[in-house]
Amino acid sequence: MTPVPSHTLNDGRPIPSIGLGTAPMDDEQSETAVAEALRLGYRLIDTGAAYGNETGVGRGIARSGVPRAEVSVVTKLPGRHHGYEETFASFEESRRRLGVEYIDLYLIHWPLPRLDKYVDSWKAMTRLRKEGRVRSIGVSNFLPRHLERLVDETGVVPAVNQIEGHPQFPQHELRAVHTKFGIQTMCYSPLGRGTGLLDAPDIVAVARAHGVTPAQVVLRWHVQLGAVPLPRASSPRHQLHNLAVFEFTLTDEELARIDSALDHRRIGFDPETHEEF
């Protein structure tokens, strides 16, 4: 298996270029999936307080036998805990559930613009990073105006913005903003989450040309665009297949073909209106 390369975040810290998504696994499922994934070579594990599986993820990390220092753990601040002091308390709850002394990447899960407390939470997260309780800080589902406000009001640029991203919703405009600020794009639902993306004739044709699966083609598309995909996979077979995306390369023509395989549309919640509490 080709080793998983890393990206360097804008704070100088490395992050693996593919990770394991765990939503909507429960504690038992995530413990098994995480332990197996780490044994197979994954080093980036994504969870969130809202997923309800941080305890299982933590158990999986401990059960894997992989040294803690080699694992990048991502979790997220839930909407119900937005606010300066609330963020510190929520962080400690997540840290205890995960059973770790620090969190590698801590994200604000949703901006919740109606609540209008995400800047307060961001200020708390910058303090958590300064104190060493968090290695890197970032956001999830933030739109350009949310990112610009954080930078304008605090001077601190998020290391990561985790967004819905796949060929049906490539988010090229938002990715361009990420490039402008030096923010790493991280993608959930990278395979389109049951929308028929993997059956698209253009993607199937590219997969056949390389002797790989359609899922591997789509994950390679992410990798070559510079994003970090977070495919959810509970079976060791699928986990191994996802790691094999570093063993082939797509041409520019194939990348464009994948990008236009289906009409573009969001399949998840809209950050302008979604209120996750």
Catalytically annotated residues: 51
**Rounded Cα distance, 221 and 206, in Å:** 11
Return the closest-CA partner of residue 180 out of 165, 158, 164.
Answer: 158
**Rounded Cα distance, 53 and 31, in Å:** 9
Compute the 3-state secondary structure of the chain and give helix, strand, coil in percent, each to the nearest 5: 45, 15, 40
**Rounded Cα distance, 45 and 4, in Å:** 14
Token digits for 241?
A: 């297949």
Q: In what helix (H) or strand (E) does residue 161 lie, and over which residues does it extend?
A: strand 160-164
The secondary structure of residue 140, as a DSSP letter, is E
CB atoms within 10 A of CB 52: 16
Return the closest-CA partner of residue 7 out of 256, 218, 224.
Answer: 224
CB atoms within 10 A of CB 66: 18
Amino acid at 262: L
Token digits for 4?
A: 């998983």
Cβ atoms of 150 and 122 within 8 Å: the answer is yes
